[in-house]
Amino acid sequence: MAMGISEMSFHSTTRLYAQHFCTASPFTSPLRKSAKVNHRRSLRARTWVISEKLHNFQKINLSQPLQSRKKFTECHCQQASDIANLSHDEANSTWVQDAVNKVSQVLGSTNGQSAIEFENGSAAKHGEDPTLVMPEPAKNLQPKKTRGSSLVEDEAWRLLVESMVYYCGSPVGTIAANDPLDSNKLNYDQVFIRDFIPSGIAFLLKGEYEIVRNFILHTLQLQSWEKTMDCHSPGQGLMPASFKVRTVPLDGDENATEEVLDPDFGEAAIGRVAPVDSGLWWIILLRAYGKCSGDLSVQERIDVQTGIKMILKLCLADGFDMFPTLLVTDGSCMIDRRMGIHGHPLEIQALFYSALMCAREMLAPEDGSADLIRALNNRLIALSFHIREYYWVDMKKLNEIYRYKTEEYSYDAVNKFNIYPDQIPPWLVEWMPSKGGFLIGNLQPAHMDFRFFSLGNLWSIVSSLATTQQSHAILDLIETKWSDLVAQMPLKICYPALEGQEWRIITGSDPKNTPWSYHNGGSWPTLLWQLTVACIKMNRPEIAERALEVAEKRLSIDKWPEYYDTKSARFIGKQARLYQTWSIAGYLVAKLLLEKPDIAKTLWSEEDAEILNALNVMVDPTNPRRKRGKVLKKTYIV
Which positions from 467 through 496 interact with ligand GLC, judged by CB under 6 A? none
Mention every residue, 6+ apart, whose C-beta is less than 8 A from residue 612: none
Residue with smaller CB distance to ligand GLC, 116 or 576 = 576
- Nearest distance in Å: CB 135, ligand GLC: 18
- Rounded to 5 degrees, φ, ψ at 528 are -55, -40
Least CB distance from residue 176 to ligand GLC, whole Å?
4
Question: Please, what is the minimum distance in Å from the beta carbon of residue 208 to ligand GLC?
Answer: 21
**Taking the C-alpha atoms of 291, 297, 301 and 306 in order, what is their torsion angle to the nearest 10 degrees?**
0
Separation between Cα atoms, residue 162 and residue 136, nearest integer Å: 9
Nearer to ligand GLC, 90 or 128 (CB): 128
CB closer to ligand GLC, 96 vs 193 = 193
Cβ closest to ligand GLC, residue 192 vs residue 452? 192
Q: DSSP character for 248? A: E
Q: For residues 297 and 304, what is the distance between their CA atoms, to the nearest angstrom?
A: 10
Determine contact, residues 48/59, Cβ cutoff 8 Å. Answer: yes
Closest CB to ligand GLC among residues 334, 487: 334
How near is the Cβ of 107 to ligand GLC at its closest, in Å?
Answer: 25
Give the burial string for 69-93 (b: 16+ CB within 10 Å, else e).
beebeebbbbbbbbbbbbebeeebe
Show contacts with ligand GLC in window 298-337 (CB under 6 A). 334, 336
Q: How far is the CB of 291 from ligand GLC (least distance, A)?
A: 24
Report how far apart, in Å, the C-alpha atoms of 565 and of each of 489, 514, 584 are.
10, 9, 18
d(CA 177, CA 185): 8
Smallest distance from the beta carbon of 579 to ligand GLC, in angstroms? 11
Q: How far is the CB of 519 from ligand GLC (least distance, A)?
A: 6
- The CA distance from 11 to 15, in Å, is 6
- The CA-atom distances, in angstroms, between 584 and each of 118, 242, 551 are 20, 18, 11
Task: Please say which residue, 126 or 194, places its beta carbon nearer to ligand GLC.
Answer: 194
Q: Give residue number: closest CB to ligand GLC.
A: 176
**Sequential DSSP letters for 375-392:** HHHHHHHHHHHHIIIIIE
Q: How far is the CB of 336 from ligand GLC (least distance, A)?
A: 5
CB of 582 to ligand GLC, least distance (A): 6
Which of 195, 208 has the CB closer to ligand GLC?
A: 195
C-alpha 485/C-alpha 550 separation (Å) is: 12
Q: Which is nearer to ligand GLC, 261 or 419 (CB)?
A: 261
Nearer to ligand GLC among residue 288 and residue 334 (C-beta): 334
Least CB distance from residue 256 to ligand GLC, whole Å? 32
Q: Rounded to the nearest whole angstrom, what is the least distance from the CB of residue 179 to ligand GLC in the complex? A: 12
- Sequence-distant (6+) residues with CB within 8 A of 48 are 21, 57, 58, 59, 60, 61, 78, 83
- Report, in Å, the least distance between residue 193 CB and ligand GLC: 8
Count of positions (residues) in the chain: 638
| Cβ-based nearer residue to ligand GLC, 333 or 356 | 333
Size of interface with ligand GLC, in residues (CB under 6 A): 7
Q: How far is the CB of 460 from ligand GLC (least distance, A)?
A: 19
Q: Which is nearer to ligand GLC, 192 or 571 (CB)?
A: 192
The contact pattern for ligand GLC, residues 192-231, with x = CB under 6 A and - = no contact, is x-xx------------------------------------
153 vs 336 by CB, closer to ligand GLC: 336
Q: Closest CB to ligand GLC among 299 and 526?
A: 526
CB of 5 to ligand GLC, least distance (A): 37
Q: Packing angle between helix 302-316 and helix 210-223, nearest 10 degrees?
A: 60
Burial status of residue 297 (CB atoms within 10 A of its CB: 0-12, 13-18, 19 or more): middle
Strand-pairing partners, residue 164, are 174
Instruction: Give the span between the Cα atoms of 466 and 284, in whole angstroms.
Output: 17
Q: What gap in Å lies between CA 333 and CA 456, rounded to an integer?
A: 10
Q: Which of 284, 311, 166, 290 is nearest to 224 (CA)?
A: 311
E strand or H helix that includes residue 80: helix 80-83
State how beta strands 164-167 and 57-59 pair: unpaired
Q: Among 324, 362, 344, which residue's Cα sits nearest to residue 638? A: 324
Residues 179-198 that bind ligand GLC (CB under 6 A): 188, 192, 194-195
- Choose, by CB under 6 A, the member of 99, 124, 160, 176 that binds ligand GLC: 176
CA 159 remoteness from chain centre: 20
Considering beta carbons, is residue 223 or 580 the nearer one to ligand GLC?
580
Judged by CB under 6 A, the chain residues 331 through 390 that form the site for ligand GLC are 334, 336
Q: Report the 10 Å Cβ neighbour count for 322.
A: 8
Q: Count of CB atoms within 10 A of residue 136's CB?
A: 15
Site residues, ligand GLC (CB under 6 A) = 176, 188, 192, 194-195, 334, 336
